[in-house]
Structure 1
Amino acid sequence: MGQNSDRRARILLINPNSNEATTTMMVAIARSAAADGFDVVGATATRAPTMIVSADALEVAALEVEEIARLRGGECDGVIVSAFGDPGLTGIKAAMKLTAVGIGESAMLEAAGTGRRFGVATTTPLLKANIDALPDTLGLRASYTGTRFADGDPQQLMRDSAQLRAALAGAVEACIVRDRAEAVIIGGGPLGEAARELQPMFAAPIIAPIPSAVRRIIRLVAA
């Protein structure tokens, strides 16, 4: 680190998906949301799938996320776990003296922060139970309207940004119209660019989880 970077707080963003391109995209989003005086560096898992779409993959990723945090956490002021199921976050908080947040918990806390009812729009139906469990953990069950899933195979959608955006827009609309959600979270780290593109398409707030996590980790580090 150079002289100037020594004066900057460093945030480690861990991508539990084993995809370097996704890490690059997520770090860019995080840096654009970070305040002056904060830098974001990325780390990528190597043992998980390129996109986590099942509970088993989430569990495998959790172990590696904790390993990465142990290996690299000492060089950073805070850690972001950048997959919506927050794999490994509980272990990091329990076992390590690290300030850490997950994009799932951060997005839900922000979405419900003014007493709003909120839903989740995402692409991974096999993670429904994991997503549904998170509001209970955070004490937000009364505010949670449920999760709607984009039509289409998650992997295929990720290969076509226009198709992904259209499919997610349909899920967002279902959250708002059918479930009466007052804010909708785009549930997934790899969906970061789509979340940004969807925000101007709806009057209701669309919550992008990576910026939510950046705002939260900065508050915690600054405190």
Structure 2
Amino acid sequence: MRLLLVNPNMTVAMTERMAAIARATVGDRAEIVPLTATRGFPYIASRAEAQIAGGIALEMIAENLDGIDAVVIAAFGDPGLMGARELFDLPVVGMAEAAVMSAAMMGERFSIVTFSPLMTRWYADCVAATGLGGRFTGVCTPAAREVDVARVRSDLRDDLVALANRAVTEQGADVVILGGAPLAGLAPEIAAEVQAPVIDPIAAATAQAMTLAGLGGRFAGRACKPAGKSAIGLAPALARAIAMEVR
């Protein structure tokens, strides 16, 4: 089995860390094929940036489908997720959706802890899109708006632990999700310090992608498939996918 891990952020180090987590999750049961965006943003941090990155993610998938059994979109806002599911006849899993679905199976109520208040409304939108908003206790963040995403796991570690525990004790969360690709890998490091299970979204997304691929479900011919049409100015592989020449 081969899983395509698509990072629509441009930061290679972020991709490498998430790929390592994905490989640890699947062991010898699957091969992880990581990709990093070559244009766009070093780190996607808003709904507007996610809209742009979603198109880039679709291009990346279209150009690298050969021999792939499932796709993981490795950015917490899931840019391009629903469009990818329309276009491509294989499982496509997003980090945010996978984390929320996993949290819903582990407890009644869940919270997202992330590193900047700039992502609060966008991440709340991601939860609402899953239909599980009634079980969501909110997004918890430090007060500071500007952070160094390369150092956030170390610089804000204590703050993130405190926020996770506050989500449990004050908001009633049964499960805590660490939101944002820069926090990948932190969940197991702080698990013993948090009073509830802590979910690493890339591990959750990888596990779900592998499960869906292993179920052998029929992804071709779904009712949501759009009609094929021609396009001008798009990357050739994506244009072929939109024309329904790619399955």
Instruction: Report the counterpart of residue 172 of structure 2 in structure 1.
Output: 180
Aligned: 1:63 with 2:55: yes
Distance 2:49 2:116 in 1: 12
Alpha-carbon spacing, 1:129–1:153, altered in 2? closer, same or farther (3 Å): closer
20, 24, 33: which is aligned to 2:16? 24
- Secondary structure at the counterpart of residue 73 of structure 1: coil
TM alignment of 1:1-223, pairs within 5 A: 9-156=1-148, 158-159=150-151, 161-223=153-215
- Secondary structure at the counterpart of residue 156 of structure 1: coil
Output the amino acid matched with 1:57: E
Query: Does the CA contact (< 8 Å) of 1:150 and 1:170 recur in 2?
Result: no
Shift of the alpha carbon at 1:131? 1.2
Distance 1:139 1:200 in 2: 30
Shift of the alpha carbon at 1:113? 1.0
TM-score of the two chains, using structure 1 as the length reference: 0.90
Alpha-carbon spacing, 1:115–1:160, altered in 2? closer, same or farther (3 Å): closer
- Secondary structure at the counterpart of residue 27 of structure 1: helix
Query: Does the CA contact (< 8 Å) of 1:123 and 1:154 recur in 2?
Result: no
Query: Does the CA contact (< 8 Å) of 2:69 and 2:91 recur in 1?
Result: yes
Q: Deviations over 1:85-117 (max 9, x none)?
A: 100111100111121100100000000114520
Output the amino acid matched with 2:168: I
- Secondary structure at the counterpart of residue 68 of structure 1: helix
Shift of the alpha carbon at 1:62? 0.7
Distance 2:150 2:194 in 1: 22
Q: Deviations over 1:128-166 (max 9, x none)?
A: 222112222212111110100134345326325432212
Query: Does the CA contact (< 8 Å) of 2:117 and 2:143 recur in 1?
Result: no
Output the amino acid matched with 1:188: G
Output the amino acid matched with 1:215: A
Query: Does the CA contact (< 8 Å) of 2:153 and 2:182 recur in 1?
Result: no
Structure whose CA Rg is larger? 2
Q: Deviations over 1:16-37 (max 9, x none)?
A: 2101111111100100011432
TM-score of the two chains, using structure 2 as the length reference: 0.82
Shift of the alpha carbon at 1:60? 1.2
Instruction: Report the counterpart of residue 6 of structure 1 in structure 2.
Output: none
- Secondary structure at the counterpart of residue 105 of structure 2: coil
